Structures are given as C-alpha cells and as structure tokens.
Amino acid sequence: MNRTSGELARHLGANLEGDANLLLSGVASPEQARAADLIYVDSPRHGARAESSAAMCVIAPPRMRLRAKTIIESSEPKLAFAKAAAWLLPRATPAPGIHPSAIVAPAAQVSGSACIGPHVVIEDSAVIGEKSVVQAFCFIGARSRVGAGCWLHPRVTLYAGSRLGNRVELHSGVVIGGDGFGYVFGEGRHWKFPQVGEIEIGDDVEIGSNTAMDRGSLGLTRVGSGTKIDNLVQVAHNVQIGEHSIIVSQTGISGSCTLGNRVIVGGQAGLGERCHIEDGAIVGGQSGVLPDKKVRSGQIVWGTPCRPLDRFRKQFAWLERLPELAARLRRLESGPLKEDRDCS
C-alpha cells in the first residue's frame, strides 16, 4: 500500500519541504534505502549520510535542509519515524478462521474475526478476542482470556486462567502464568507453597521471546498497560509492574517486587524480593537490588548492591586508583617516620 510524502506529512501533522507526491513504500537506514524508502536523521552530524542515501524523503529536524531531498520536519525525528513506519507498514493480519489442525475445546469462545493457527490448543472456557492472532503451537489454558487485537507468535503458553488485555504481543516461547517458586522447608524436604494466584497483563504490552512470568502465589502478578519486556526476562510471583515501563533482556524480578510507571530496568539486572522501584526510576544493567530495598522516584542506581549512579562512579574511580592509594600509604608509612628520625 503505497502512500505519498504529502499524506505522511499530514498523518504526522508535520511540515513538508519539497515534493508532496513522492511514493513511499517502506522504511530503511540511509545506507540500505531505495528511492521509495523513508529515512530519518536526528542531528546535522548525520546530514551527509542522508544526502548520500538513495532515499528521496527524509524526516529531519526543523530547518535542516538536505540536497535533493524532500524533508518532513519534526522536532523528534526518531519518534516521527517510528510513527511513520507503523502507518506505512501496517502488519498484514492473516485471514480469520480456525486452522483445521487446531484443537479448540467446545466451551472456548473464539471471536469470528480471530485467526487461530495450525496445531494450536485452546482449552475449556478460554476466550479469544476480536481480530486476535494465535500462531502455531500456542497453548491457551482453561479459562484464559486473550483480549482484542492481540498477537501471540508461535509457541506461547498461557497457563490456565491467565488474562491478557488488548493489543498484547507475545513473542515465541513466552510462558505466562507458570507456578511461582515458593517452598517451605520442613521435615527434611521442601513443601510447595500454594501457587494458586492469578496473572494479568494490561493493554499494549509486548513481551520478548522465551520470557517467563509466574502467576501470583495467593495474590496477583500484574503488568500495567504500555509496558515493554524484552527476551529471556524472569518475572516471579506477585510482582506488580506499572505502566509504560521498560524491562531489558535477561533481567530477573523476584517475588512481590513492585515497579512503578515509566521505570527502566537495564539488562541482566536482578531485583531482590519485595523491592520497590518507584515511578521513573532507572536501574542500570547488571545491577543488583537487595531485597526490600526502595529505589526512589527519578533515582538512577547502578552496581551490586545498587547505589545512586554518582556515588557508584566516585567509588569505582577510587577502586581503579586503589593500587596507587596503597603505594601512597606505603610512602607515608616509611617517609614521615624517616623525617621524624631526621628531626629527632
């Protein structure tokens, strides 16, 4: 579906300088673009890259001009580019219907506009909303609820009773609603603490490949709307994550942690049990947050155990200079004493 540069500028509410009738068929990086691909530059530093691109149309900061290019002006070119891509390249939705190899329990409710792929299993009383896509090998446990406009890539598991909002996208290998990891030791063995709670994922959440999210033990595991979770992340039982937060790959979030809205957690971070990350806080990659720790709103922390970033940097700078500090100490220990001797 080709669109013109003028239509795109109108869609973005942006000013256009140049030819409003260029056909646009895709998006690309400046180096790989063909004439009909849209590209963007967000700083004059990259002007030469854009000018030497085959692309005819560029999203660029206001008043930036590029030789022989049509410019769509935006004060946030990368944001405008993301919006433009979603508009130029709407995802092709497969035709509605249930593949004959899928096994759908009689009491499941599948919307007539949903697309259920080959070898899917949908158990009793599960609900699949309008226009949702459930690809091959997905397992939708009993009483689960998949909202409207969701996309479950191949090989997603929803344990019984899991609930997804609308427009949720789950990548291949995601497991939602597994048993939490809780035991009580007694009489020489581990007794399983009951894992009978629930899990609820809000609207517009995206979850990366092979991520595992456990349902609550007695309570609820919950992810707020607009939050994005990367690949291979662990979310334990009873975790509460707010809205529009970002959890980068391989991070582990222990039981009963709460994360606020617009929180960012870097890759491979580890959050101890019951820790509390307030709105807008940032936990650096590979950081370790001790159990019960609170990270205040807007704070940036790093390291294990995590500290405010400034403090970490200062400590780390001295750690780097420790061999030198030790040498200075040794000099003091020998030097002044000698001088003392001299002066006596």
Question: Which of 203, 226, 222 lies closest to 213, judged by CA?
Answer: 222
Do 257 and 245 meet the contact criterion of CB atoms below 8 Å apart? no
Closest-CA residue to 204 (of 238, 249, 165): 165
- Taking alpha carbons only, the member of 261, 174, 173, 263 closest to residue 214 is 174
**Which one of residues 23, 35, 48, 82 is an interface residue with a copy of itself (CB under 8 A)?**
82
Sequential DSSP letters for 328-343: HHHHHHHHHHHHHHHH
With binding defined as CB under 8 A, does residue 95 bind a copy of itself?
no
Candidate list 101, 107, 292, 296; residue touching a copy of itself; CB under 8 A: 101
Q: Find the binder of a copy of itself among 2, 21, 93, 315 (CB under 8 A).
A: 315
Task: Out of 24, 72, 139, 148, point to the residue binding a copy of itself (CB under 8 A).
Answer: 139
Q: Does 259 contact a copy of itself by CB under 8 A?
A: no
CB 326, min distance to a copy of itself, A: 6
The window from 6-14, 16-24, 50-58, 228-236 that contacts a copy of itself (CB under 8 A) reads 228-236
Q: Which of 4, 111, 125, 209 binds a copy of itself (CB under 8 A)?
A: 209
Phi, psi (deg, nearest 5) at residue 274: 60, 20
Q: Which tokens in the block code for residue 35?
A: 């004439």
Which residue in the set 175, 199, 277, 295 belongs to the binding site for a copy of itself (CB under 8 A)? Answer: 175
- For a copy of itself, the closer of residues 65 and 331 by Cβ is 331
Element (H, E) at 98: strand 97-98
Query: Least Å distance between CB 258 and a copy of itself?
Result: 15
Is 159 a residue that touches a copy of itself (CB under 8 A)? Answer: yes
The least CB distance from residue 319 to a copy of itself, in Å, is: 6
Site for a copy of itself contains 218 (CB under 8 A): yes
**Least distance (Å) between residue 54 CB and a copy of itself:** 14
**Does 332 sit near a copy of itself (CB under 8 A)?**
yes
Closest CA to 193 of 204, 184, 185: 184
Is position 268 an interface residue for a copy of itself (rule: CB under 8 A)?
Answer: yes
- Binding a copy of itself (rule: CB under 8 A), the pick from 18, 149, 202, 226 is 226
Q: Residue 33 carries which DSSP code? A: -
**Part of the chain binding a copy of itself (CB under 8 A), chosen from 9-17, 50-58, 274-282, 329-337:** 329-337
**Residue 171 binds a copy of itself, judged by CB under 8 A:** yes
**C-beta atoms surrounding 132 within 10 Å:** 26
Of the ranges 46-54, 65-73, 293-301, 322-330, which one interacts with a copy of itself (CB under 8 A)? 322-330
Q: Is the peptide bond before 62 cis (omega within 30 degrees of 0)?
A: no
70 or 162, CB closer to a copy of itself? 162
For a copy of itself, how many residues bind (rule: CB under 8 A)?
105
The residue from 46, 153, 171, 237 that is catalytic is 237
Q: Write out the E strands in 132-224.
A: 133-134, 139-140, 145-146, 151-152, 157-158, 163-164, 169-170, 175-178, 183-186, 189-192, 198-201, 206-207, 212-214, 220-223
Give strand pairing partners of 252: 234, 270
DSSP 45: G
Give 9 or 207: the residue with its C-beta nearer to a copy of itself.
207
233, 215 in Cβ contact below 8 A? no
237 classed as catalytic: yes
Catalytic residue ranges? 237
